[in-house]
A = this chain, B = another copy of it.
Amino acid sequence: MYNLLTGLSVIEASSFVASPTCGLYLAQMGADVIRVDQIGGGPDFRRWPVTENNDSLYWENLNRAKRSVALDLGRPEGRELLQALVRSTGQFVTNFPAKGFLAHDFLAAGRPDLITVRVMGWTDGSPALDYTVNNAVGYPLLTGAGPEPVNHVLPAWDLLTGSYAAFALLAALRRRDATGEGGEVRLPLSDVAIGTVANLGSLAEVLTTGADRPRLGNTVFGLFGRDFVTGDGVRTMIVVVTHRQWANLITALGLADAIAQIERARGVSFATDDGLRYTHSDALFPLFEAAIGARTHADLAAAFDAGGIVHSAYRPMHEAVADPALVADNPIFGESANPSGAVYPAAGAFATLPGSERQSPRPAPRNGEHSEMVLAERLGLASGELARLIDSGIIGTAK
C-alpha cells in the first residue's frame, strides 16, 4: 500500500481477473475502490483455489484493500443504487456488458464527466476469456516443443488488460483534470492480445516472412538463450542479451577457443551479433551442453553471477514461495487478516518507492461489509431507508 492515489475513488462492478486486477492495482496505490457485487458474491466469488471451507483464496487476494457493497442486481432497485453510486463517484471500472444497465451513455446522462473503463472480451461485445483470445492470436501453437498446442497457465492477457485498464483510467483522469471531459474507455482482451502481437514485431514478422515462427521449445528466438542441464542434474535457463554477457559466458565456461574455431570455420563473429548466435546454434549448443554438463549448478551459478550472466534454475512454486528473497524477507509482503481466516503473506503494490513509507497490505472485504457505510456516505441514505432496503433484500450486509 502506498498513498499515491489518495483522494481518488472508483466504483468497480466486475468479476474474474482483468477488471478486478485493475481495481486491485488502484487500491494498492491508495485509491478508495468500492467493489459492488451481487449479494452473496458474483460469479468469481468461489473461484478456485479455495480453502476447505470453500472460501476463495483467489477472490480474497484479487480484491485486497477494496470496500464491498452488496446489492441485488437482479432487481431494478439494486441496479438503480449501483447506477447512483457510479454517478455520485464519477469513476467506474467494469466488465459488465457495454449495452446493459451499466451502459456508459446512460450513466453519463446523469454525470457528464463520468469516466468508465470497460474491460471487454471481443470488440463487438461477445464473450472471450484469456484462454480463448490466446488461441485466437496463435501463442499456444508456438509454445512448447510441439506438435500439440500448449496453453499458458498464467492468465497473461487478463493481467496485462487489468494493468492497462488502471493506466488508461489514470490517463483519462489526466485529460479530465485538464479539460473537464470524461468518456468511456473500452478495452477488449482481443485488442490487447492482437495489439501485443503487433507491438512485439510478430505481426510484421508473419506478414513479411509469410510464415509462422518455428516452435522452439525452451529456446529463445533470435538470440542465445535456452535451458541446459548441469552436471548435477539442475535444469537452468541462460539468456544472453548483451555482448559483455556473451564474452563473460564463454570465458566462464572455458569455451573461447572452441568458439573461435567455429567462427573461423563459418566465417562469422559472434562477439556483437545476437542473430548469429541464434542462427549458428546447431554448432554452439553442443559445446555449451558439454561444458555445462561437466560442472555443478553451484559452481556455475557463482561464475555466472560474477560475470553478470542472466540465469535461473527451474523450480516448483512451493520452492519459490519458500525463498526468503522472494517472500519472507521481501518488503512487498506483509501480514493481513483474511476473510477466509487463512494465514499467509499478503502482497502489496509491486512498485517500491524508496522515499515513501510502505503501509501493510489490507485484506479483501467480506461481501457487503461496507454496504451501509458507502450508501450512507455516497447517496445520503438514512438509517431507516437502509434498514428497509436490507429487510427487502435489495442491500446485503456482511454476516
**In the assembled complex, A317 has its CB within 8 A of some CB on chain B:** yes
Of A127, A168, A196, which is in contact with the most chain B CB atoms at under 10 Å from its CB? A168
With A135-B314, A191-B332 given, can you name 11 additional A-B contacts, CB distance below 8 Å?
A48-B222, A48-B278, A50-B222, A60-B201, A141-B317, A143-B150, A152-B154, A160-B160, A187-B350, A197-B317, A213-B317
**In the assembled complex, A74 has its CB within 8 A of some CB on chain B:** no
B203-A344 in contact (CB<8A): yes
**In the assembled complex, A347 has its CB within 8 A of some CB on chain B:** yes
**In the assembled complex, A96 has its CB within 8 A of some CB on chain B:** no
A-B contact pairs, 16 of them (CB 8 A): A49-B209, A121-B310, A127-B308, A135-B236, A136-B323, A136-B326, A149-B218, A150-B217, A151-B220, A159-B196, A185-B351, A187-B350, A202-B317, A204-B338, A207-B321, A207-B344
Near B by CB (< 8 A), chain A positions 40-63 give: 43-44, 46-51, 54, 56-62
Residue of B nearest to A348 (CB): B195
B350-A206 in contact (CB<8A): no
The residue from B43, B188, B201, B327 contacting A61, defined by CB atoms under 8 A apart: B201
The residue from B138, B239, B311, B323 contacting A315, defined by CB atoms under 8 A apart: B138
Given A144-B144, A167-B25, A207-B321, decide whether A62 and B212 contact each other with a Cβ distance below 8 A. Answer: no
**In the assembled complex, A170 has its CB within 8 A of some CB on chain B:** yes
Bound state CA distance, A60 and B199, in angstroms? 8
Bound state CA distance, A188 and B123, in angstroms? 33
**In the assembled complex, A32 has its CB within 8 A of some CB on chain B:** no
The residue from B51, B156, B218, B317 contacting A142, defined by CB atoms under 8 A apart: B317
Residue of B nearest to A29 (CB): B171
Near B by CB (< 8 A), chain A positions 118-143 give: 121-124, 126-129, 131-133, 135-143
Classify chain A's interface size.
Answer: 35 or more
B208-A57 in contact (CB<8A): yes
B-chain residues with CB within 8 Å of residue A177 when the two chains form the complex: 177
Of A135, A153, A161, which is in contact with the most chain B CB atoms at under 10 Å from its CB? A153
Bound state CA distance, A393 and B11, in angstroms? 54
**In the assembled complex, A268 has its CB within 8 A of some CB on chain B:** no
Residue of B nearest to A57 (CB): B201
Bound state CA distance, A151 and B312, in angstroms? 12
**In the assembled complex, A298 has its CB within 8 A of some CB on chain B:** no
